[in-house]
Amino acid sequence: MAAVASLVANLRQVVVLKFQVISGSVTRLAGALTLLLCGAACADADVGNTLVRFQGGKPNASWNLELTSDAGTDAAQDAALDGGEQRDAAADASTADASLENEDEDAGTQQTATACTFRLTTRAQGGRYAPKNIGAIWIEREDGTWVKTLKVWAGVRLRYLTTYLKANTKRDTTDAMTSATLRQHATHEVKWNLKDAQGQVAADGDYRVRVEVTDRSGDGQLLSVPFSKSDQALKVAADDSEFFVDVELECS
């Protein structure tokens, strides 16, 4: 009977030992699997005497293993890139709108004319007194009504500027440039302040710059440059002729 009891005790020890061996192997296997899954990204923790790493720190009763996903990271990066592209597109659209607004403002704001400058160069006409010459430059309306004299160069021979004197019967030279007979033909430049001889702003409409020059005791050569007066800038150039060259009118 004692022999039977000893045999039973020995069998119990063998069973317990095997269970411990099997239990320890299972524990170490679980630790190894966890280490393989987490890798170096997890925090240190001891599980069954096996050093493993867990994401987010050591485990607790509610701990669940979470692994970082390349797909999730790529999705987050794509979302960030999409957001940046949308912001860039919005900024570009805003800049384009501002540019269009500036262009609209520039288109709506045009230069207003406040004065006109007229220039030309005269040439000899082969008269008795050439190259000496007399002349006049004035503004008149399309119907021939005199508006204002801009320049006169003549002395006692003024009477030979017949077209000019018919237009300006009062020989009014208010604000005009005046001088005696010129010894040589030259370039003339005059300015019109868009006002008549009485100082009133001339009405918008069709006008002409008239020029008369002679180097003889009689009628000389005439030039007429038509233009339309308004509050907008303009530039008019006339073709060169035998007696007048480099003719240009600019209002700005």
pLDDT score of 70: 47
Residue extents of the structural domains in the chain:
2-54, 116-251
pLDDT in tens, 159-213: 999 999 999 999 999 999 999 999 999 999 999 999 999 999 999 999 999 999 9
Report DSSP state, residue 157.
G
- pLDDT score of 83 more than 70: no
pLDDT computed for residue 3 by the predictor? 56
The pLDDT of residue 125 is above 60: yes
Would you place residue 112 in the very low, low, confident or very high pLDDT band (cuts 50, 70, 90)?
confident
CB within 8 A of 251, min separation 6: which ones? 113, 115, 116, 117, 194, 227, 229, 233, 234, 235
- pLDDT value, residue 152: 98
The proportion of the chain whose per-residue pLDDT surpasses 90, expressed as a percent, equals: 55
Smallest Cα–Cα separation from 158: which of 134, 124, 185, 187? 134
C-alpha 159/C-alpha 136 separation (Å) is: 12
pLDDT of the residue at 91 = 60
Is the pLDDT confidence value at 4 over 80?
no
Tell me the pTM: 0.59
Q: Looking at residues 132-149, what average pLDDT do you find?
A: 98
The predicted-structure confidence for 34-75, as pLDDT tens digits, reads as follows 444 444 444 444 444 434 444 444 444 444 444 334 445 555
* Number of neighbours of residue 138 by Cβ within 10 angstroms: 26
Residue from 47, 157, 133, 111 nearest 250 by CA = 111
